[in-house]
Structure 1
Amino acid sequence: MKSKIGLLILILGLLAVPVSAMGQAKIIITMGPMGGTMYPVGAAIAEMITKNIPGTTATVTVGGSITNIELVHKGERQMGHTTAELVRAATTGGIDPFQQPRNNIRALAKLQTMYFQMGILNSVGIKSLAEVKEKKFPLRVCTNPRGNMVELVLQRVLKEYGITYEDIKAWGGKVHFVSHSDSVSLVRDGHADAATMFTSVPAPAFTEISLTRPLSIVSLKEDIVSKLCSQYGYARGVVPAGTYKGQDKDALTLSAGIILVVNSKLSDDLIYQIAKLMNSEDGRKKIGAIHADIAKEFTPDKAFKDLGGPLHPGAEKYYREIGVLK
C-alpha cells in the first residue's frame, strides 16, 4: 500500500511540470502585458532557468494578475506574477474575485511595490473622479482587458465614487480594454483622455505620453483609499509631484507588492533552484536592470516578506538556508 501511495505522489508531482517531446521539463511563466514591467522580468527568469537548470526549459507568455492565479492554480502555467492582496484573496477564499480558495497557489518571492495610476491629459481639464461624476463628463479611459489587476482596481475605485462603466458610456464616454502599448497610442493620438495602470513609478508608458502630451495622475480621496486598503489589503501609496511632465502635485493612490507565485505541486528541489538563481548576485542584477524599483526592493532579506500567502516549501528552504528567514 505504501509503495502505491508513494508512486501516486511521484506521478502527481511530475504532472505539475509539462514534459516536452524531448523529455525536458517545461516551465511556462505567465506575466503582465507587453509594454509593462513584468513581461521582461518573466523573460529574464525564463532565460535563467533554461540556461542553468539541466533538463528544464522555460518560456514567458502574456497574462494578467487575476488570470495568472487561475492558470497557475490549475497547473496550466507553472509560475506567474500577481499582487499580494490577490494572493491573500486566492489562498483565503471568500474575497472577490475568489469566492473559493485556490489551494495550489504558493508564493516564491516579492519583487517590488507597484501603484495604481490613472493618468489624465491636462488638456482635458478634469482634475478628479469626483469632477467626472459631478459633470457627467464623457471620459474616454483605457484600462487592461478584464482579468487584469488594473481593471479590477479601476472598477473598485469608480464604485467608491458612484461611477460605473455603464455611466461612462451613458455620458458619451468609452472604456477601452487594451494593452499598455495600445493605451499609449490611443491617448497620444487623441482617441482617449486617460489611461489606468498598476505598475512601477515612473511608468514607462506614462513617461512616453507626457513627453508630448502633459498629464497628471488623479489623486484619490483619503477616505476612499483607507476604505479600499481595509477591505482588500492594498497599501497607501503616493506618486510624487514631478514624476511626469505636467504633474505638479503629489497623487494619493493604492499600492501593492508584486508577487511571483508557483503551483504547489512543483518539486521542492526545482523551486529551491529557481529561488537560488533569482536571488543570486547575477540574478538580481539581471532582474534589477529592468527597473530601478526592482533593483532597490528585490533583495533576499525582503523577497520572502509580505507575500499575502504561504511560501512554497522549496523557496522557504532557500531563504532559511541563507539565514534571512528564521
Structure 2
Amino acid sequence: MIGRKFPLILLLTFVALVACSQETVQTSNGSEANGDETLSSTGSESISLNMATLSQGSSWYVYGATMASILQDEVDEINRVDVLPYSGGYGNVDLLDNGEADIALTFNLNNLWAYNGDNGYEQKYENIRALVGGMDKYYVGIVMTNEFVDRYDITSIADIKEKEIPIRLLTVNRGSQGEMAARQILEVYGLDYDTIKSYGGSVEHTSFDVVQSSIQDGRGDMFIQVMTEGHPAFTEIAIQTPVTFISVEDEYLEKLREYGYVKNILPPNVYNGQDYEVQSPGLSTTLTTTTELSEDLAYAITKALAENKERLVDGHNALSYYIPEEGLHPDNIGRIPLHPGAEKYYQEKGWLE
C-alpha cells in the first residue's frame, strides 16, 4: 500500500505546480504577475497603471511619458505605467469611467463639464476626482486676417454682431475641444453659426491643413482654436499670412467663467507679427482619476508629481507653468472634488485650507 501512495502524491504535487504556473506571467522586469497585480522582489504587491493621454507626438503624450517615468521611479507600489496614445480631453473621461484608464490627462473644463453632465457630455461622471491641476497654460486663440480686420475696421468679435459682418469662420471638426470653444465664445457675444450665416458669412469645420490653406488663399477670415504657446498651426498661419490675434474683453471673459475658463494673457512675440499681449479665455491640463483609485496610491502619485517639478519641466517646457501649491485650486481642477489621497497630501503640505 505504501508503494502505491507515493507515486500518487508525486502526481498531485506535479498537477498543483502546473496549475500555479498557468496563473503566473512574466512582466517586463522579470517579476511575476498574478492577474493585474505583480509581486515585487520584496514580496510586496506592485501595480500597473494605464494613463490616457493623446496621440503620439502630442504634448500630452510627452507629458504622459514624463509622468510615467517619475511615478515608476518614485512610487514603490507602481511597477509600470502604460501611456495610452488616446483619446484626448473629452474622451479620456470615458476611459476613466469604463476602467480602461486608471489616471488620465484632461482639461479642467472637461472635468467640470463631465461632472455636471453638460457641454458635450450626455451623463454625469460623478465618480471623477482630481489629483493635480494647473499644469500648463492653454489659450483659445482667435485670429483674423489683417485684410479682413482693415476692411471692416474690427477691434472685437462684438463688431461682427454690431455691424452684421459676413465673416467666414473656420474651426476644426465638430465636437472637438476647439470647436466647442468657438461655439462658447460666439455665444457670449450673442452669436452662433446660424447668425453668422444669416449675415452672409459661412462656417466650415475642417482639418488644420485646410484651415491653413484657406487663410493663406483668402478663403477664410477667422479661425478659433485651443492652442499652446507656439502652436504649430497658428505658427504656420502667422508666418504665411498677416493676421491679428483678437483679445476677449473682461465682460465676456466673466461670462465664460461659467464654462470654467480663466483669464490667460498670451505674452508678446509668441507668433510672427504679434508684438502685443492678447487677453484670452484660458484652460489648463489636469491629472484626473476616479474614486476607484486607492487613497494611498492617489497620495503617492500626487506627492511624486508635486515634488518633482524639475523632472516635469525637463520632459516638456510647457510644464514650467505648474505651481504645485496651486494645483488644487478649484479653477485649476475644474471645480470637481479632490481625490481623498490628493487632499491628504495637500493638507500635509499646508496648502489646503
SS in structure 2 at match of 1:77:
coil
| Selected match of 1:247 from 242, 259, 274 | 274
Q: Please give the secondary structure, in 2, of the residue aligned with 1:112.
A: coil
Q: Does 1:119 align with 2:143?
A: yes
**Match of residue 337, structure 2, among 306, 310, 317:** 310
Instruction: Report the equivalent of 1:216.
Output: 244
Determine the C-alpha separation between the residues in 2 that align with 1:309 and 1:315: 13
Q: Does 1:196 align with 2:221?
A: no
- Residue 56 of structure 2 is aligned to residue 28 of structure 1: no
Instruction: Find the counterpart in structure 1 of residue 31 from structure 2.
Output: none
Do 2:38 and 2:79's aligned partners in 1 also have CA atoms closer than 8 Å? no
Q: Pick the aligned partner of 1:84 from 89, 93, 108.
A: 108
- 207, 218, 235: which one aligns with 1:207: 235
Pick from 324, 342, 349 the counterpart of residue 300 of structure 1.
324
- CA 254–172 in structure 1, closer or farther in 2 if over 3 Å, else same: closer
**Structure 2 equivalent of residue 268 of structure 1:** 295
Alignment match, 1:233: 260
What amino acid does structure 1 have at the position aligned with 2:244? Answer: S
8 Å contact from structure 2 (residues 129, 290) kept in 1: yes
Any idea what the Cα deviations from partners look like across 1:50-97, whole Å, max 9, x if unmatched?
566543331132333233223323323222233334423433x26544
**1:272 aligned partner, one-letter code:** Y
The answer (yes or no) to whether the contact 2:306–2:324 under 8 Å persists in 1 is yes
Structure 1 stretches of at least 4 aligned residues deviating more than 6 Å after TM superposition: 20-24
- Rounded to whole Å, the distance in 2 between the matches of 1:25 and 1:107 is 20
CA distance in 1, matches of 2:315, 2:243: 24
1:28 Cα deviation from its structure 2 partner: 3.1
Give the aligned residue type for 1:175.
Answer: E
Post-superposition shift, 1:27? 0.7
Query: Which position in structure 1 is the counterpart of 2:70?
Result: 48
| Superposed CA offset, 1:274-294 (max 9, x none) | 22332233xx22322455552
Instruction: Provide the rounded CA distance (Å) in 1 between the counterparts of 2:232 and 2:112.
Output: 28
Give the TM-score of the pair, scaled to structure 2: 0.70
Partner of residue 106 from structure 1, selected from 107, 129, 133: 129
Q: Is the 8 A contact 1:109 1:303 kept in 2?
A: yes
Q: CA deviation at 1:105?
A: 0.4
Q: Which amino acid aligns with 1:150?
A: G
1:64 aligns with 2:88: yes
Q: Secondary structure at the match of 1:195?
A: strand
- In 2 relative to 1, CA 41–221 (structure 1 residues): closer, same or farther, beyond 3 Å? same
Is the alpha carbon distance of 1:265 and 1:238 closer, same or farther for their aligned partners in structure 2, counting shifts above 3 Å? same
Distance of 2:86 and 2:242 partners within structure 1: 29
Shift in Å at residue 304 of structure 1? 2.2
In 2: Cα distance, 1:254 partner to 1:109 partner = 21
In 1: Cα distance, 2:59 partner to 2:148 partner: 28
Query: CA separation in 1, counterparts of 2:220 and 2:57?
Result: 18
Corresponding position: 1:157 with 2:182: no
Match of 1:173 among 202, 226, 231: 202
Unaligned runs of 5+ in 2: 1-34, 40-45
Amino acid at match of 2:319: I
For the residue of structure 1 that corresponds to 2:136, the secondary structure is strand
Q: Which amino acid aligns with 1:298?
A: Y
Report the CA distance between 1:149 and its aligned residue.
2.8
**In the alignment, does 2:318 pair up with 1:287?**
no
Task: Please tell me whether the aligned partners of residues 67 and 147 of structure 1 are also in contact (alpha carbons under 8 angstroms).
Answer: no
Give, in angstroms, the shift of residue 262 of structure 1: 1.0
Task: Report the secondary structure of 2:106's partner residue.
Answer: strand
- Pick the structure with greater CA Rg: 2
Letter in 2 for 1:173: S
Deviations 1:133-189 (A, max 9, x none): 43543414133x44433222211111233433345567463423436x775566567
Give the fraction of aligned pairs with identical amino acids, expressed as a percent: 27
**What are structure 1's unaligned runs of at least 5 residues?**
1-17
- How far the C-alpha of 1:313 sits from its partner, in A, is 2.2
Question: Which segment drifts farther, 194-203 or 147-156?
Answer: 194-203
